[in-house]
Structure 1
C-alpha cells in the first residue's frame, strides 16, 4: 500500500518539507501549521482514504487546516481531488458530487446527503504517499446548459506547468506567499504548490486584510502576491496604494481578468521593488499558459485598449488564431497543459479543434499578435452590434478610463431598439453629459453609450472577479419598461 512514486503536485510538498527547515507551510489567522505537522496529518488522513479505496475525494471546507490537509491527503492517497465551496447552494454542490463520482468527502461542516464523510481520527497512517492518479484534480466551471462543467486536470500537465515556473522564478524558503484564491479556483494551485515547492509558507488573506493591506503584508512578511486584478481597485479605495506602501513584495502576479495599465502602474508605485507579471490561462489549460512581464516604459506603449498584454504562450505549446484577420482572431492552444477532457464528453462540443494532427482548445478569447507575444482583446462575446456598429466593449472601457472615470464595466444589453451599451463606473460620480462629451472626442457617435450608472463598488463572484452577469441583470432591470396602471 505504501509504494513511493515520483510525479504529481504532492512531490512539490515533499520537496518543500526538505527545504523548509521546520518552517510554516500554511498560516491561517492565528494558526500556523508547519510542514511536518501538515505532512503527518496528510499521511494519517491519506491512510484512512486508502483503506476505504477512495479514488475521487471531495474537499468541502473553507480556507483552513481541513481544506489544506484534505487536498494533500487525497493526493497522498493517490486519489483525484475535487475542491468544493461550502457556501455554494446545496443543489449545485450535489450536482458536482454526482458528476465527479466522489467516493468520500473531507469536510469541516455538513456533507451532502448520502456521501460518506472521512472520519479524521480513523485509519492507519501511510508511511509514504501512494502512486499518483492520472487526474490530479477536477475543477468545475460555469456551463452554458446551467449545470456545472467538470474539467479534468492531469498530473503530467501539472508537472509540465510547475517545471516551467521553477525555471522562470527564484522562489526560496525565505519567501512568504499570499493565498487569496479559494481552492475551487485553479490559481489557488499556484499559491500552494509554488509556495510548497520552495519550502515557503502560504498565508491566507482574511477579508479584513484588504482594509489595510500594507499593514497585513508587513505583519506577515509577504514577498509574493497573487490575486485577480479586481483586488487592485479594492486596495486603492482603502488607501493602500500610496507610493512605497508595499515595499516587501518582490513578485506580484495577476490573473483571471484583463489587467489594465492604470491598475498596474498604481500597484507598481506601491510595490516599487516588485516584478509584476500578467498571467493568462483558462482552467482547461492548467492554471496559466502564458505570461507577460511588466515594463514601466515599454508596456504602456504596446498595450492595446489600455490592457496589459498576456505575453508568450508557454514553451512546448502551439497556438493558432482561428478566423485570423489583420493579426487578430480566437486563440486556440495545443500542448501538454491541455485538459484530457471534461467529465461529461458532451461538454466538449465546440470547445476543441483538430488541426494538422493536433487537438487545440478553443479559448473563446480574441487576441492580437504583437512583436513580443499576444495582446488580449476580450471575449468573443464582448464584441456587440449596436445600430450597425461593431463595438468592442474593452475599447469603450479604455476610453472611459482615459476620461478620468475610476473604473468601468461596459455591457451590451438588449433594449427596445436592439442592443444598447450600459456603463457601470466607480470613483467619483460624474455628470453624464461630461462623460459623453469626452467620449465624442475619441469614439464614433454610434459607439457612445446611452446609459450610465455610478456604483460604489462592483459586485464580485466567488472567484473575486467582477460579476458581469449580476451587472447585466441589473442593467436589464433598469432598462425594463415601467408597467402602466
Structure 2
C-alpha cells in the first residue's frame, strides 16, 4: 500500500528516508478529496519489490516520469488500439504485469488473465478470447513445444508476440514465429529498476540467428532517452526510465556507478555491444561461478549441454563445488554426455551430476525456477 498526503506525493513512510526529489510523507489527514489530485513527474507511481533471488527483496519505487517515458515508447512502437486484447500471464507482484495493464488502459484495449488451466489448450483459449498481444516469459515456448500437437499455426490471432523475464533462445523464437505466423516476435529486456523493459530486439529469421551468443537472442537497442556503458563487462544504464533509488537507502550500496558526472544503474547483467550498437546478453554476473579454480559462465555450460545429442534443454547450477545439470530430452548415460561435453568445455567445468526431468519447475511467473533446482542439487550428495 502507498500512503499519500494532501499534496498527492506518495511513499511508504514506515520504511523511512527520503527519495531523490520525493518528500517523506506522513499519514493523510483532513476531509475526503472532492476530486483526484494531479500527480507530478517526481511522485511515486507504484512500488514493487524485487524477487529476492539474489538476496533480500528490495523495494523499488517507480516514478510517474519513469512510467511516462516507458509508455510513450511502447505506444509509439506498437500502435495499440481499442481492438487489441492483451494476455496477462504475469503475477501482479512482478513488474512485467504493469505492461499488460497500463498498455491496455492507455489504448482502450482489453486485458484477459490467463489462468494456469488455460495452458493445456492455450491455442483454444487465445482464439476464444481473440488475444492479439501476447506477453510472457520465454519458458512457455519449450513447454508448449513438447505437446504431441506441437505449435505450428496455433496462434493466428496474434499480431504482437513479446517475451521478457529470462533469456529467449533462438530456436524458441523460431518455434513461436511458426506458431504465430501473423505476429511480430520481439525480445524485451529490463530489470524492475529500469521500469518494466529498457531494450528490445525484433526477431528476424534471416538476420537474428547469426547475431546470437550461446543461442540467446540479442536484447537489442535501448529505448530513446536511455544510455548505456559497459563497466568491466557489466551493463550499466541511465536515463528517463531509471528509478531514483531503493526504499531502503542501504540497498543502494553497490547498485549504482558514478561515472563521468552521471549516475548509472548497475544491472548485474553481462553484455557485449555489436558493431551496430545492439546489445547481446552474456549472462548474469552472479551466474559466473568458479569450479576447480576455473571461472565459468553458466550460460556457456547450458549452451554446450543443449548441443549434446538428445538434449532439448538444460539448466546448470552449482552445488558442493561441482556443477549439476538438469536436462530435458532423451535419457543417456552420464559418461556419454561427459564425453561429448569434453569437445566443447574445459574438463574442470563439465557437470559431475546429471538429472533428467519431464519439465523444469516454474515459478509464479512461469520462469524457470532456478532457486528450486539449486535446492534440489544441494540436497543430493
TM-score (ref. length: structure 2): 0.89
The answer for the alignment partner of 2:364 in structure 1 is: 462
Q: How is 1:132-143 mapped onto 2 (pairs within 5 angstroms)?
A: 132=39, 134-143=43-52
Residue 317 of structure 2 is aligned to residue 411 of structure 1: yes
Q: Structure 1 pair 100/149, CA: closer, same or farther in 2 (3 Å)? A: farther
1:334 matched residue in structure 2 = 238
SS of 2:213's equivalent? coil
* Superposition deviation, residue 129 in structure 1: 3.5
Q: Deviations over 1:126-171 (max 9, x none)?
A: 7753212600000011458964310110000110111111221121
Q: What is the alpha-carbon distance in structure 1 between the residues aligned to residue 150 and residue 281 of structure 2? A: 25
Counterpart contact for 2:194–2:243, Cα < 8 Å: yes
1:387 aligns with 2:292: yes
- Unaligned 5+ residue runs, structure 2? 18-26
RMSD of aligned C-alpha atoms? 2.5
- Indicate yes or no: 2:251 matched with 1:347: yes
1:382–1:393 CA contact under 8 A, matched in 2: yes
C-alpha contact 2:16 2:248 (8 A) present in aligned 1: no
Alpha-carbon distance change, 299 to 155 in structure 1, aligned in 2, over 3 angstroms? same
- Structure 2 partner of 1:473: 375
1:397 paired residue among 302, 314, 319:
302
Shift of 1:262: 1.5
2:24 counterpart residue number? none
1:426 corresponds to which residue?
328
- State the number of aligned residues: 364
The equivalent residue for 2:281 is 376
1:356 to 242, 260, 283: 260
1:384 positional shift? 1.6
Alignment of 1:16-415 (within 5 A): 54-55=3-4, 78=8, 80=10, 99=15, 129-132=36-39, 134-143=43-52, 147-239=56-148, 241-323=150-232, 329-372=233-276, 373-403=278-308, 404-413=310-319, 415=320
Structure 2: distance between partners of 1:423 and 1:156: 43
Structure label with greater radius of gyration: 1
Structure 1 residues 54 and 318: CA distance shift in structure 2, 3 A = closer
Q: Distance in 1 between matches of 2:54 and 2:179?
A: 43
Task: Tell me if the contact between 1:214 and 1:240 (Cα under 8 Å) persists in the aligned partners.
Answer: no
Q: CA deviation at 1:246?
A: 1.0
List per-residue Cα deviations over 1:188-222 (Å, max 9, x = no partner): 11111111111110100011111111110110011
Closer/same/farther in 2, CA of residues 295 and 100 from structure 1, 3 Å limit:
farther
Deviations 1:303-355 (A, max 9, x none): 000000000111111211112xxxxx000011111111111100000000111
Distance between the aligned counterparts of 2:346 and 2:54, measured in 1? 37
Identify the structure with the greater helix proportion.
Answer: 1
Q: TM-score, normalised by structure 1?
A: 0.70
Paired residue secondary structure (1:346): helix
Instruction: In structure 1, list runs of 5 or more residues that go unmatched.
Output: 1-48, 57-76, 83-96, 102-115, 117-122, 324-328, 480-485
